[in-house]
Structure 1
Amino acid sequence: MRRTKIVATLGPATDAPETLTKVLQYVDVVRINFSHGDPEEHQARVEAVRKTATEIGRFVAVLGDLQGPKIRVARFANGPIDLAMGDKFTLNMTLDRNAGDQRQVGVDYPELADDVEPGDILLLDDGRLQLKVDEIAKPEVRCTVTVGGKLSNNKGINKQGGGLSAAALTDKDKKDLKTAIALKMDYLAVSFPRTGDDMREARALLGEEGKEIGLIAKVERAESVANQELMDDMILSCEGVMVARGDLGVEIGDAQLIGVQKKLIQRARSLNKVVITATQMMESMISSPLPTRAEVFDVANAVLDGTDAVMLSAETAVGQFPLETVQAMDRLCRGAEQERVAQQSNHRIHENFGHINEAVALSAMYAANHLDGVKAIICMTRTGLTPLLMSRIRSGMPIYAFSSQPLTQHRVALYRGVTTVPFSTSSTSPEAIQNAVNELKKRGAVKEGDNVIVTRGDQSGTHTMTIVRI
């Protein structure tokens, strides 16, 4: 059983019913990218996923991803331009959107002139080009090219070190948020949040109708990882985080990104939140049926760091080999999980627990890891909290979330090492426990002579652990 979950972005490459059916055999969460398409397209894809997943007997969660305040240059009148080091180039806040030329281009973010000062470095097209700010002459930001290259329409702008003041939630995002509620999405990712307050604003906007949607903070701004206090505030403000390495890497630099990724994964797990590692994980497979060796090790390192999920973007949305890509991701995750470091944990071993369900969940995991003959954990759960707590511990032990709640059945699809089993948990009698064990026997997960750990509770939470010998 693969423990690390796979998130795949849907798009034209997965729209064919036969392709979608094959891809969903490997995918745990599908991503709907609100940067592309309209509500009708999103609805059609979500409905197709839910219908197909039911037909093949899998629980697949749906993650919506808001576009956020992507700051971009406008368009060039005569196509892409080539900028050389030392060239003078102006970002003009009031220039016609289609009038860019070799000397200047418009920008869709009027506040840029207020957010920068001479000496700042602006990074265009994911850092492929760099401009040094020479002078602010509103509405113009006059620059010198320090790293040249080709610049085309609508490329993104970042400020090295962060500091652009654009609000995390745009008017478009607020409309898309309503679409996410209408489609009953399981998770919603917020792009470019600066602090936990942006995530708390998103939660408030979801309101009562969207209270069951799990929020994911896409960590993309330098400000959000400036220190551990800010990082922890971001993590604690939502249900999980995404290490969005594209814009984050541009703002903090490649060298810093390595340690930040590892720390984000570690802190999210310590704070009992889920974490997704994203961006360019299998980028070459957009046009190649095999990953590069660098991509193999990138995926493996994220798995060994303890990420809950690895994410595919253009590789599955518009790539030529969506099925081969998810198959390769599945293969690499399984390979990395065989390493001993992926199954060892010191998670909170020297800490006190504040809640009974924490103590039971983590006790069950340590018992499972150290008692000979244990082959599975059955967690009878209503909300999914106990299997989440269990999944924070590195282990090779499969965790089965037995639940009758549709929300929980899909929510746990993102939790590392957790598999959903539809099951009535209204009773936790010895007979009900035996029925749960029999369900695993029927699935071939356990056999005669194996030990199974069962956790259960009541409305107040999980409070009991039992070891059953089959």
Structure 2
Amino acid sequence: DLAIEIPAEDVPLAQKMLIQKCNELGKPVITATQMLESMIKSPVPTRAEVSDVANAIIDGTDAIMLSEETTLGDFPVEAVKMMTRIAHRVEKDVFTHDTIFEFEESHGTTDVISQAAVQTAHDIKAKFIVALTESGRTARMVARYHPAEMILAVTANVKEAPKLALSFGCYPVVVEKFKTIEDVMKTVRQIATKHKLAVKGDNVVIVAGVPFGKNQGTNMILVEKI
């Protein structure tokens, strides 16, 4: 915990710096510990706690986590609901189609393609972004820009899929390996229809590495209609 390792007054700035560094590198970052601590014994949080949770989200954390509030507290359900309400309220205004996280430098082709995909999704008001990924890197590099659109992280890697749920806006879906872009769109349309993510005619943005199975990194952006 930061407060044990450094002076208390240094914690806020250190936390912001760590979140920023993780965002820059596309590394999932979780903010936790004492976020709603008063709810261990109280059904409502303090103003300071609400601000702490909100500011972590605004700074760019991928996930916020409760600990004693749910393991030992008297109001575990209320704590989860409150954290969810705070997150939804903040994200509604902060992460919109008019905003995109910006960084001073890029980290290769995957990053450049990911940024372009997010900007494209914003410009055409896409329903979601499809990140076809084997290692998870493509989805994470898209997520670091915190797009308003959901990121459908489509992967054949069963072990990697659960980890992707920690990255901002990522919803992992495990599928069989693709051979053609037609296979991709068939699967995407099935997922969109099944989970009511989009309707016929909606735009989606796809990012992937082609040819499939060659592990050449992310090198393609495609706009398709459901």
TM > 0.5 fold call: yes
Q: Name the structure with the higher strand share.
A: 1
Structure with bigger gyration radius: 1
SS in 2 for 1:257: helix
Query: In structure 2, how many angstroms separate the alpha carbons of the residues matched to 1:250 and 1:351?
Result: 32
1:353/1:409 CA distance change after superposition, 3 Å: closer
1:381–1:425: 8 Å Cα contact kept in structure 2? no
Of 137, 142, 148, the residue aligned with 1:390 is: 142
Partner of 1:287: 41
Provide TM-score, normalisation by structure 2: 0.89
1:461 paired to 2:217: yes
Provide TM-score, normalisation by structure 1: 0.45
Partner of 1:380: 132
Partner of 1:305: 59
Q: Name the structure with the higher helix share.
A: 2
Partner of 1:359: 112
Partner of 2:31: 277
1:352/1:396 CA distance change after superposition, 3 Å: closer
Structure with the bigger RCO (C-alpha within 8 Å, sep 6+) is 2
SS in 2 for 1:436: helix
Q: Percent identity?
A: 35
Partner of 1:347: 102
1:285–1:319: 8 Å Cα contact kept in structure 2? yes
Residue 417 of structure 1: CA displacement?
0.8
Residue 274 of structure 1: CA displacement?
1.5
SS in 2 for 1:399: strand
Partner of 1:187: none
Residue 426 of structure 1: CA displacement?
2.8
1:421/1:329 CA distance change after superposition, 3 Å: same
Partner of 1:253: 7
Query: In structure 1, how many angstroms separate the alpha carbons of the residues matched to 2:14 and 2:217?
Result: 34
Which consecutive unaligned segments of at least 5 residues does structure 1 have? Answer: 1-243
1:304–1:342: 8 Å Cα contact kept in structure 2? no
Partner of 1:230: none
Query: In structure 2, how many angstroms separate the alpha carbons of the residues matched to 1:326 and 1:342?
Result: 24
1:12-411 counterparts in 2 under 5 A?
244=1, 248-340=2-94, 344-348=99-103, 351-354=105-108, 356-369=109-122, 371-411=123-163
Count the aligned residue pairs: 221
SS in 2 for 1:402: strand
Query: In structure 1, how many angstroms separate the alpha carbons of the residues matched to 2:161 and 2:5?
Result: 37
What is the identity, as a one-letter code, of the residue corresponding to 1:382? Answer: E
SS in 1 for 2:218: strand
1:401/1:367 CA distance change after superposition, 3 Å: same
What is the identity, as a one-letter code, of the residue corresponding to 1:265? Answer: I
1:399/1:265 CA distance change after superposition, 3 Å: same
* Superposed CA offset, 1:329-373 (max 9, x none): 11111111112367733423x53542x32222221112112x233
* Superposed CA offset, 1:226-251 (max 9, x none): xxxxxxxxxxxxxxxxxx3xxx2244
Query: In structure 2, how many angstroms separate the alpha carbons of the residues matched to 1:259 and 1:442?
Result: 43
Query: In structure 2, how many angstroms separate the alpha carbons of the residues matched to 1:465 and 1:454?
Result: 6
